[in-house]
Structure 1
């Protein structure tokens, strides 16, 4: 048992009869304590004692292959990126101690925004302190009371939180269903403000949105379109601009949201746009105005990484090969995956339940492989997933090793049949 956490059989009221504000978490407390009581290592509290490269770290004293870090393009150890951060740290110090609208805009912030505008060929770019704040800020600022937000039911938590903060009317539709989206739009008042929010790649299953069809429908009903490209920037599209580029709709969307914590390899968020009034957001967007700006060393690494991603064709090609190989190998073993074909750098392996998923996660960790254990309510349809995030720096040998680890762990936990002999890399 974890010390300091109330047990489910304890009273849910405090002295004086007040409701225990933590009682709403009792189900999650029970779930966590049930896993720990079974002897499984806490899958939500892994410590990396030393990071060796974009694909390996020391976890619990063991050399571990990293397959759950979102470090898609492997930029975290790029020598040019590291040197840029060191130089900015020496030249500008450790932090700005202020927001962007006060003393928090340094030369590096402007240079990072210029790199984003060049990368996307857009007129405007705003850098936020995290990708979460980018969604929270842009969505809550442009869609408010009396407006409508039409969004995919499987949208990221930061998108839902941006909707709640802005107090717009939220109209969800079935995941990736173009017809369902159009039905919702058709019912809305013609003269109302409407914002359609989509994601290029959905982070749980790694599936891609049919943006070409969806953007066309949104424009048909006069809606603005915001696309979150957090999990496709740098990788998908000829120039790495995401699914909007790959689908040929980049000039038709109004806002693209992204993050630095995936392919860029650092931390931060951004929005790019061609909207002529976009710059006013710097004065009215609360999560931008009232948050300290990113440290100079962070924006320097981001700017350098973004400019290098413009020339990342070979890395993109290798990452696609890694994704295809892992997807094919796991399918041949008999694992159930989140997509029938590889659609992104995310390969989601569907587990029978949380207990089996945690057992499989631990078995893989003991093999020397780290993946994400994703559980409800973050996952669609109450699924438990082992979410694999491939990296352009994973070698062919590492992918083969990963497949062997999955087969051994799958057999050891009973998730795979003992007669499976079709795997690659075994």
Structure 2
């Protein structure tokens, strides 16, 4: 009989070899206690968190926590139903109103996760006979949305404006076209040239979807993301985002100005056929989103942290994913998986948690340590982190 797990044998062997070398499992770390957005107890010791996507540090905001506790008391622990049945509570509407206000858009739709937002919107608006033109480094949820929707999928080289234009021009006359881009790409932390790409997409009759998961709350004058920062937000048809980054909880969303957008609530399967978010989650999200509208000082401090860490690591001799700080993500390129895992463990022993990322999640088969900064990291913590990297890098032979 065929063992359906046989296809995973190479990965099983790779993992076994890695752990046999005495390295702690980098994909199974337990946070025993979380003290703040930037510190947790791991393996019995206090550890600085530099791999959590908690960009704006909202997870322990007193107003956010209070609204969640109140919602638990007022509405119970869950909705036990879909948004189109019994699963729309006052909090879901309040959350969507907050999103519309945050983005200055007419429509907002909240999903149970950010993954589902991409899966649902992409698979519903681009179907058989339509064409999706997307960046080759797009997130897994974007690729899965393409697969589920059955559209023709045409990838282009990462951030390559000319390659995108060539592929758009090859789409048959009269076919539906959707261009899918991301504001910040989550592995290297680099940003897209959205202004040029969106202009070309519109000239070629395509609709545009931009995933701003890693830029919402932080990039742009009002924290609306890279499209706002580059002055082209009004030309974007759909903005996808998540609550699990800057908002500090869980959930996903899509905002749009399309006049027919509300029909999505009846035709989008990942929205219709799943339970809605618990009341405590949507109330915390709504409170957090409203606070992010007035978080200019936090945004400025996060930029300072990002620039300081980027320069500090580069000056120590580390190879980074970008030539300068472009977002709150800083990718430190490793020579291979074995030394990447050794470096990850050395940092953990120093008291620092980062993400070890490997293929197929990473572009071009590289192994990297992904650092996600937080607006709540102090300037002293950032200097401490640079020192930890230097000691660990020398011990492992990376620098």
Pick the TM interval, shorter chain: over 0.9
The Cα of 1:30 is off from its aligned counterpart by 0.8
TM-score by length of 2: 1.00
State TM-score, norm by structure 1: 0.93
Work out whether 1:140 is the aligned partner of 2:123: yes
Aligned partners of 2:214 and 2:14: how far apart in 1?
29
SS in 2 for 1:327: helix
Partner residue of 1:255 out of 230, 238, 242: 238
1:235 Cα offset (Å): 0.2
Structure 2 gap segments, 5+ residues each: none
Residues in 2 aligned to 1:264 and 1:384: alpha-carbon distance in whole angstroms? 28
Does 2:30 align with 1:50? Answer: no
Residue 200 (structure 1) aligned with residue 183 (structure 2): yes
Aligned 8 A contact 1:190 1:221 in 2: no
Which residue does 1:218 correspond to in 2? 201
Matches within 5 A, 1:18-417: 18-416=1-399
SS at the partner of 1:134? helix
CA offsets 1:346-393 (integer angstroms, 9 cap, x no match): 000000000000000000000000000000011001000000000000
Aligned mates of 1:284, 1:372 — CA distance in 2: 37
CA contact under 8 A between 1:208 and 1:344: conserved in structure 2?
A: yes
Provide the rounded CA distance (Å) in 2 between the counterparts of 1:178 and 1:132.
26
Who wins on radius of gyration, i.e. which is larger?
1
Q: Which stretch shows the higher mean deviation, 219-228 or 26-35?
A: 26-35
1:104 and 1:293 in contact (8 A); partners too: yes
Say how many residue pairs are matched.
399
Q: How big is the shift at 1:190?
A: 2.4
Q: Tell me if the contact between 1:371 and 1:386 (Cα under 8 Å) persists in the aligned partners.
A: yes
CA offset at residue 19 of structure 1? 1.8
Alignment deviations for residues 230-268 of structure 1 (CA, whole Å, 9 cap, x no partner): 000000000000001001110001000000000000000
State how far apart, in whole Å, the 1-side matches of 2:229 and 2:281 are.
29
Aligned-residue offset at 1:195: 0.2
Moved over 4 A (4+): none
Matched residues in 1 for 2:263 and 2:289: separation? 25
Q: How much does 1:222 deviate?
A: 0.2
For 1:302 and 1:107, how far apart are their aligned partners in 2? 13
Q: Distance in 2 between matches of 1:163 and 1:19?
A: 29
C-alpha displacement of 1:27: 1.1
Tell me the SS of whatever aligns to 1:412: helix
Structure 1: tracts of 5 or more residues without a match: 1-17, 417-426
How far residue 20 of structure 1 moved from its aligned partner, in angstroms, is 1.2
Q: What SS does structure 1 have at the residue aligned with 2:154?
A: strand
| SS of equivalent to 2:190 | coil
Q: How far 1:394 sits from its partner (Å)?
A: 0.1
How far does residue 299 in structure 1 lie from its aligned partner after superposition? 0.1
Distance 2:5 2:208 in 1: 38
Distance 1:208 1:30 in 2: 35
Q: Determine helix, strand or coil for the equivalent of 2:102.
A: helix
Using the TM superposition, give the Cα deviation of residue 31 of structure 1 relative to its aligned residue in structure 2, in angstroms. 1.1
How far apart are 1:77 and its partner, in Å?
0.1
1:381 partner SS: helix
For the residues of structure 2 that align with 1:319 and 1:36, how far apart are their CA atoms?
35
